[in-house]
Each structure stands twice: as structure tokens, then as C-alpha cells.
Structure 1
């Protein structure tokens, strides 16, 4: 009888040791496992910085853009002058760089030289702007903050139509722009705001394009 009790107690003691060793091994493994866990990287998107004209000029240009779309098609978008071209970042980085870049830019003037046409979808028909020092410097300062390097010299412009047209159709659209607004080729306006936009250039419908943040420029 005593032998049975001893055996039972001994087995119970061994069981406690086994359970203790099991918990100890689990606790030892937890830090190791935690070190192996890697947090997912923040999702990146394509962003651009746009210069926005005054409300009055925006309304005038929108009317012209609508007239062109009614005949030549294409998606609707806000009148703007691209300051920083498409660059891939996560949203936190994009917002931070946008705020820093805007602080170095003051309100500035822009003047249209002519209605012109380009060679691809996003530069189908546009208002070519005079590349004055202040226009070019506004872009250069923001591009520097974003670390954006363009493969070609900055060509300031305000797009009127996004579309894939033939050269003949582009010429007709160019002529219609002057018909719809005779003095548009000599328009001068103030750039008073910059905006950060999400602009996936693969999405030609522009349905995924979205304004993320806007900044009112100071005068001094």
C-alpha cells in the first residue's frame, strides 16, 4: 500500500516537472518568435502635386474643358498645373513631403502662351504656360523636397483634355478651344493653392484619382 502511494506521488512529481518544463520552453520560444515577426510595409500609391488657380479662373477653364469633352470625349478632372509629377510613396511620406514643400512656395502668377497639343493621353490639349522664374522655381522647390527627378525639362501647362486622339482631331480640338474662349491664349492668373493628389497614371478613367490635402499659399 505504501509502495503504491509512493509511486503515485512520484509520478505526480514527475508530472509537475514535465508541465513546468513545457511552460518554460514555451516562454523561451515567445521572444524568438516575436523577433521573427515583420510588420507589413505601408502601402505605396502614386501621388502628384498640383497648383490650383483661383476659383474664378477654375470656373472659366472648366467651362472650356466641358466644351471640348462634349465633342472629343475624355475623363473629367480639376484644372491644374502639375508641380511635381507622378511619384510613388506611402501616404504618411507624401503628406509630410507635401507640407514641407508648400512652406517654400509663395503665391505666384502664371501666363498662358498658347493652346497647344502633345503626343500622349495626359498631354492631349493644354494651355502652355510661360516658364517664368517663379513658375519654374515653384516646381523645382517642391520636386527637391519630394526627391523627384524628371527625365525632361519642366514644361508648365494646364491640361484641357485627356484623350487619345489623332493629330487631325487634336488640331480640331485646339481650334475649338479658341472658338469656345477667344482670349484663352493670353490668360493670366494667380496660383493661390497647392494640392496633393493620388494619381494612378494607369487609371485613364481617373476614377481612383483623389485629392488628399490642400494648402493655401502665403504672399510672403
Structure 2
């Protein structure tokens, strides 16, 4: 495990960050920044920072080219919440599953290729945004989800079809990300550090 992860994160103005902060404070659980992991620290290779950034830029460029419509290349990626559910791991205690959009999987696979990692078949990637980090019982998780829905923080959307947002979280059906983050995820979440940011539609910006 390299202790390095690739993330998509909502904009700083998104209500998701204060919501997660409030949730961790209320439940006395671990605080962390909202994010959707693209490639986890279980498989990102432990390369030098220069090589990591170079490969990340290569993967993003490949994704942009694959998603181009005519000469127009994407500059952002929109992620939608599919549902809120229980997970079976500490870092996926309660989570919002993301709609498995083709553009999201294309970005994930472009990054795997750039880092010389195999692309599993069938795919094993589970896109999600964790809401709580904790070791809780199934009953505790179910109660938290029920309380969030009762409070109106989580609202199920009626008539949502396949490939569409199925739930709102603090009024948001998802979030838009404009960059891929290289994050050192070694140690406690409060010690995690963004090492580099690669915009989805422009030149790289150092953290």
C-alpha cells in the first residue's frame, strides 16, 4: 500500500463539506474531507512525486481525448448520487453510491492505464462518496440513515431512472469536480495531504 490515492472532490463552496463536518461532530466519528476515490492507495504505485504527476497528467489527457465531442474536450465531470446505504468497511460505514456513469468509469480506467495497472474484467470499481468513517453495527447505520431522511438531509427522489440521481443530500443531487487530486492518505484523516491537482481541462497546478 503506497499511501497515495487519486480523488475527485466537490468545490469548496459545496454544502457537502459542512454537512460531513456536522455529521462527524454530532456522531463523534472521524472527520474527513468529502471525496470520491478514483484509484485507491491499495494499488497506486509508490513512485516519485514527479513520476506520479506525470502519469496523472497523462491519464487525464487520455480521458479528455476519449470524451471529446468533435474538437470540444470536457473540463469537468458531474457525479450523481444513486442512493445512501450501509457499507461493510470502516471507510465505507455509511456512504452515497454514485451513478456509474460511463465518463466516470472512463476516467478511472484511463488512470489505471496511465499507472500501468490492469483493468479488471468485469469491473470492480465502486464509485461512492463516504459520509461516515466508523465501526458501527448494522442497526446503528440503519438508524443514522433513517434519522438523516427524517431530518431532510437525505431525500429520495421519486421516479428516478437508471443512470439518474436517485437521492439528494443536503439539497444536492451530486457534485461537479474540475480536477483530480493526488492525496497522501497515510496516517489519520486529519494528516492527509493534497500533493498535486490536475485540472480536467487545463494545465496542472501544484498543490
TM-score of the two chains, using structure 2 as the length reference: 0.73
2:184 maps to 1:198: yes
Is the CA contact (8 Å cut-off) linking 2:45 and 2:115 kept in structure 1? no
Q: 1:115-126 alignment to 2 at 5 Å?
A: 115-126=84-95
Aligned pairs, number: 171
Q: 1:80-119 alignment to 2 at 5 Å?
A: 80-86=35-41, 87-90=44-47, 91-105=49-63, 106=74, 107-119=76-88
Large movers: runs of 4+ above 4 Å: 149-152
**Structure 1 residues without counterparts, runs of 5 or longer:** 1-43
Range with bigger deviation, 166-175 or 64-73? 64-73
2:23 pairs, out of 68, 75, 82, with 68
Higher helix share: 1
**CA displacement at 1:68 relative to structure 2:** 2.0
Aligned residues: CA RMSD: 2.3
Q: 1:29-68 alignment to 2 at 5 Å?
A: 45-57=2-14, 60-68=15-23
Is the CA contact (8 Å cut-off) linking 2:7 and 2:36 kept in structure 1? yes
Is the CA contact (8 Å cut-off) linking 1:51 and 1:80 kept in structure 2? yes
Secondary structure in 2 matching 1:89? coil
Secondary structure in 2 matching 1:96? helix
Q: Which digits, 9 at most, give the CA deviation of each residue in 1:43-84, with x for residues without a partner?
A: x94211101223333xx1122212321233332221111111
2:136 maps to 1:165: yes
Range with bigger deviation, 132-141 or 91-100? 91-100
**Structure 2 residues without counterparts, runs of 5 or longer:** 64-73, 157-166, 203-207
- Larger radius of gyration, structure 1 or 2? 1
Q: Which digits, 9 at most, give the CA deviation of each residue in 1:105-137, with x for residues without a partner?
A: 342221111111110111111111110111111
Match of residue 22 from structure 1: none
TM-score of the two chains, using structure 1 as the length reference: 0.69
Match of residue 8 from structure 1: none
CA distance in 2, matches of 1:196, 1:85: 10
1:181 pairs, out of 150, 153, 162, with 153
